Amino acid sequence: MEIELKYNIPDSATADLIWENELFKEAEEADSREVLNIDARYFDTEDFDLARNEVAYRVRREGEHLVAALKWKGHTEDGLHVREEINVPVEDDLPDLDVFHESNIGCEVCELAKDKELKCILQTACTRKRFRIDTGTGLFEFSVDSGEIVTDYGVQPLNEVEIELFTGETEELVEIGKVLQEKYGLEEENKSKYYRGILMIKENRK
């Protein structure tokens, strides 16, 4: 299960202020700050069989690591994204649903694809600045992302804050988000990177 808050950042200056903020200084985990490049490729069939069943299949390079992920059964409200997720380390970024064969969802997604060729339908590329927050009752990852969403139909800028719940209660995650939102007047982002890319594709395929 993935649980995270997303907020849209209006400009690069605000992004810098958020990254440099000391709102969570007392709870920031020592030596947890890092900056890395993240490149993700999302795959589907020519007929968008996965997207039509609200499944996202992604292979993402996080620094030197490659991770394949399936996400499904998601819902979003007030910037809070909750969805099922499974992650598997992989050796390359070629589409291969067999890496999920030990899970029920992996078998279901293989059936959705029905041996059809999988192709990259969209990509995201961003610089992620992140650190961890440890309140004693919960552990969270705080990330500032700046980059772009790329499809065959164009490019959309990407600037957002994500706060992901690792351990603890959702209520505390929401409280942390409120502190940040009120400080910088941020708008809640109810669309995932993947969904924003899918919307670009839909609008141009009409």
Q: Which stretches does DSSP call E strand in 23-171? A: 34-44, 55-62, 65-77, 80-89, 119-134, 139-151, 154-167
For residue 145, report the phi and psi dihedrals to the nearest 5 degrees. Answer: -110, 135
pLDDT of residue 64: 87
Token representation of residue 111: 């059936």
Task: Please choose, from the candidates 114, 53, 57, the residue with its C-alpha nearest in 3D space to the C-alpha of residue 88.
Answer: 57
Query: Each residue of 146-202: pLDDT tens digit?
Result: 999 999 999 999 999 999 999 999 999 999 999 999 999 999 999 999 999 999 998
Q: How far is CA 145 from the centre of its chain?
A: 10
Instruction: Reply yes or no on whether the pLDDT at 206 is more than 70.
Output: no
Q: Is 172 helix (H, G, I), strand (E, B) or coil?
A: helix
Contact between 69 and 38 (Cβ < 8 Å): no
Share of the chain above pLDDT 90, in %: 93
For residue 17, report the phi and psi dihedrals to the nearest 5 degrees. Answer: -65, -40
What average pLDDT does range 61-69 have in this prediction? 93
CATH topology of domain 2-204: Hypothetical Protein Pfu-838710-001 (2.40.320)
Q: Is the pTM of this model over 0.85?
A: yes
Which residue carries 């992140």 as its tokens?
A: 130
